[in-house]
Amino acid sequence: MTMTDSRLAVDGGRKTREKPWREWPVYDEREERALLEVLHSGQWWSVGGKKVPEFEEAFARFHDAKYGICVTNGTAALEVALRALGIGCGDEVIVPPYTFIATASSVLAVSATPVFVDIEPHSLNIDPKAIEAAITPRTKAIIPVHIAGCPADMDGVLEAARKHNLFVIEDAAQAHAAAWKGRRVGAIGDVGTFSFQASKNLNAGEGGIVITNDETIADKVWSVHNVGRTRSGKWYEHHVLGGNFRMTEWQAAILLAQLTRLEEQTATRTANARCLTEQLSQIPGILTLQTDSRVTTHAYHLYAFRYDPAGFGGRSREEFLRALNAEGVPASSGYVPLYKEVVFQRKTAGQGAWCRAGRPIDYGAVNCPVCEQVCRDAVWLFQSLLLGDREDMQDIAAAVQKIQKAWG
Ligand SMILES: Cc1ncc(COP(=O)(O)O)c(C=O)c1O
């Protein structure tokens, strides 16, 4: 800890943290060797390749699933999964509003209608108790998102899904290695999707995978991701509407190397997150999140906490973020409620512009109060900060404390 000056950095004082944080991405000669191997093999795409099938098997096994199909990114993974389950025009899919756009835009991309359901304040994940009221005869699926790497309440989600015969698609884009009651997420429901985009805990720049335990779903996913071909069919034989969502051998080579570090990195993030929570929870105006005891591994793609201006002399979250960043701790405010994005608020959207067969939903009238409050008060720290040491965690807490003392 380098704090020597009680004057805030934002007011011209000395920064709490001068040293750089852990670099991201993490790589070494494992990635170098893997990339050169692909380069020299001349086998750069997955058809006939070895790296993509090897990674598909390794990642599916790691995530307690029988099948994995690599795709171009996490957005495509969701779209492919929805198409494979036959979800389309006129169907409704229940989604949380506290997530990245892809969770809901993928539903629009298959001409179905996203229906937003509020989140729980302690986990920031979909509230299973709110699902029932959103179900209509058109509802076909629920997409719980394991936001920030924290598994959603899969018991509650599966109960609602079973009762109404709905598919469950886990959006695990942020949840590599996360586990619910000892089982890794992704194939607890019918199908799960992951992202390997640059910020993610498992990173290939871009990339994604769909995992499942159901062979029929796996075959359909394979078909949709490979322009409607079938595993046993001819090259120019296309059975369903698909696209080219194939991953390259380069991405799989990087991912195989990255996967060798995932467990250790997850353990480091978990230990540091615990240490940070202990310190932050003692600071007035900081509300740390409670993790459900059924969450056996939180992947901590993000470390989120909530900010109460009352503990900080009424200063806004935006002022707090400016001050925290000035102290040398990179932090951000995160999402807005997804239904407030222009893509949903455009009047035509409410009139079912994407699919005229769908029930028209006026997204301007949607109000998920917990999500709205969280969007006003959440603070996010990026996962790579948690790859540091205990001194790094002390610096984060010291910066927050310094601001609280100055304003509180
Ligand atoms: C919750 C969630 N779903 C889906 C995606 C989409 O993944 P990608 O960026 O790989 O398309 C992301 C990525 O940010 C995400 O955070």
- Its sign, for the CA torsion 221, 227, 233, 239, is positive
Beta bridge mates, 248: 45
Residues 6+ apart with CB under 8 A from 67: 56, 60, 211, 212, 213, 214, 215, 217, 218, 221
* CA 148–ligand 1 middle distance (angstroms): 11
| Residue 107: predicted pLDDT | 95
Q: Which residue is associated with the tokens 């009680």?
A: 6
Span 231-247, average pLDDT: 97
pLDDT of residue 254: 98
Q: Is the CB of 74 under 6 A from ligand 1?
A: yes
| Residue 171 near ligand 1, beta carbon < 6 Å | yes
* 380 CB within 6 A, ligand 1: no
The CATH class, in words, for 29-258 is alpha beta
Name the residue with tokens 């005229």: 356
> Does residue 77 have its Cβ closer than 6 Å to ligand 1?
no
pLDDT (average), residues 348-363: 65
Q: Nearest to residue 94, comparing CAs of 123, 131, 129, 127?
A: 131
Q: What secondary structure letter does DSSP report for 289?
A: P
Give the residue-averaged pLDDT of 207-224.
98
State in Å: Cα 100 to ligand 1 middle: 6
Polymer length of the chain? 408
CA of 31 to the centre of ligand 1 (A): 23
How do the domains of the chain map onto residue ranges?
A: 29-258
* The pLDDT of residue 393: 98
Q: Does the structure show a pLDDT above 90 at 242? A: yes
Give 100-132 pLDDT, tens digit per residue: 999 999 999 999 999 999 999 999 999 999 999
Pairing verdict, β 191-195 and 208-212: antiparallel
What pLDDT is attached to residue 230?
Answer: 97
φ/ψ of residue 270, rounded to 5: -60, -45
Position 1 scores a pLDDT of: 46
Q: What is the CA radius of gyration of the chain?
A: 22
Give me ligand 1 centre to Cα 183, in Å: 22
Residue 145 in contact with ligand 1 by CB distance below 6 A: yes
What pLDDT shows up at residue 4? 57
Q: How far is the CA of 127 from the centre of ligand 1 (A)?
A: 20
Sheet containing strand 302-307, edge to edge, reads: 286-288, 302-307, 378-382
Q: Which tokens belong to 292?
A: 């459900």
